[in-house]
Amino acid sequence: MQGIDFNGAEHRKVTIIGTGPAGLTAAIYSARANLSPLVIQGPEPGGQLITTTDVENYPGFPDGIMGPEMMQKFEAQASRFGADLRWGTVTSVDFSKRPFKLVVDEETPVLSDTVIISTGASARYLGLKNEARLLGHGVSACATCDGAFFREQKVAIVGGGDTAMEEALFLTRFASKVYVIHRRDAFRASQIMQDRVLAHDKIEVLWNTQVVDVHGDKVVTGIELADPEGNNKRTLPVDGLFVAIGHKPNTDIFASSIDRDETGYIVTKPDSTYTNIEGVFACGDAQDHVYRQAITAAGTGCMAAIDAERWLADQEG
């Protein structure tokens, strides 16, 4: 702890919100710069990689590594240099004056001279009439988490990106049949992932098809399909519906103070992690709508820590 203010709130030089690759890399760098960062873990400690299986494209792991194991290593490395990781979710922020004020879990105030936003992104859903009601009862956005519940059952996955390919392949370990449902006639996923999906004998791709609703009283029993124009409606009996249609940046709590683009990604100044508020920096999937990789998130986390360190030095100098 670096000091107590007159209200009794903890006061830090650096507070990092979120613990995916971006936040934990920022933690490693700012801890090694002797800034004793406070790291608020957020609702999904470790971020999206916690729900990923093999990570095969992170340099330094020639045989691949499981996502959760990789994040444990990031965390151990941050803790080793004195980053102070705490459970909790930042529920509101006041960036109108310095030190900035954060509130954790709606009750615990934290004051901080700089803030690094690394809150990542969350899964998007289709917005179907019965989707939310059946969430956790056959509807899921995480095959890694829920795939094992569908042994010898039929499942469908919606999407044409790398997540959909990865999850479809993962689901073949359990399910008897995996339908990949895509709204166009071509995937956007990387070629190597497409090839694996298209070659798999348990996977059937339904091109130019959209899911218009999900059926089931207590659990999913089927999905209603249609062509892209909404015609040719038919029911496909499945036990599970996995949604893999991309992500939404977790930036709503910053809406009134931090500049965001029309889809909610935080806008940073060119070649830096500076936001529109001096002393507040943003990195990782909360800010990057282009690359969205663990390695690029880690890279921008490093940039944010260096930007914060230099900004603090300028204030003190």
Residue owning tokens 């990782």: 284
Q: Is 283 a catalytic residue?
A: no
- Minimum distance from CB of 242 to ligand NDP (Å)? 12
How many whole angstroms separate alpha carbon 232 and alpha carbon 311? 59
Stretch that binds ligand NDP, among 106-114, 181-189, 264-272, 309-317 (CB under 6 A): 181-189
Q: Which one among 80, 129, 151, 188 touches ligand NDP, defined by CB under 6 A?
A: 188
Q: Which one among 110, 143, 169, 245 touches ligand NDP, defined by CB under 6 A?
A: 245
Site string for ligand NDP, 13-52 (x = CB under 6 A): ----------------------------------------
Q: Which two tokens stand for residue 136?
A: 């956790």
105, 145, 252, 259: which one is catalytic? Answer: 145
84, 113, 146, 162: which one is catalytic? Answer: 146
- Minimum distance from CB of 88 to ligand NDP (Å)? 27
Site string for ligand NDP, 119-158 (x = CB under 6 A): -------x-------------------------------x
Q: Which one among 80, 129, 151, 184 touches ligand NDP, defined by CB under 6 A?
A: 184
Phi, psi of 157 (to 5 degrees): -130, 135
Q: Is 302 a catalytic residue?
A: no
Shortest-Cβ-distance residue relative to ligand NDP: 161
DSSP per-residue codes, 46-84: TGGGGG--EE-SSTT-TT-EEHHHHHHHHHHHHHHTT-E
Q: Which one among 23, 138, 147, 159 touches ligand NDP, defined by CB under 6 A?
A: 159
Burial of 246 (0-12, 13-18, 19+ CB in 10 A): middle
246: contact with ligand NDP by CB under 6 A:
yes
CA atoms within 13 A on the CB side of 81: 21
168: contact with ligand NDP by CB under 6 A:
no
Q: Which of 206, 136, 195, 131 is nearest to 169 (CA)?
A: 195
Taking the CA atoms of 27, 97, 315 and 277 in sequence, report the sign of the dihedral they define.
positive
Residue owning tokens 């990923």: 52
264: contact with ligand NDP by CB under 6 A:
no
Q: Are 225 and 209 in contact (CB under 8 A)?
A: yes
Q: In Å, how far are 24, 102, 103, 117 from 106, measured between CA atoms?
A: 23, 9, 6, 18
Which residues are known to be catalytic?
A: 142, 145-146
Instruction: List interacting residues with ligand NDP (CB under 6 A).
Output: 57, 126, 158-164, 166, 183-184, 188, 244-247, 292
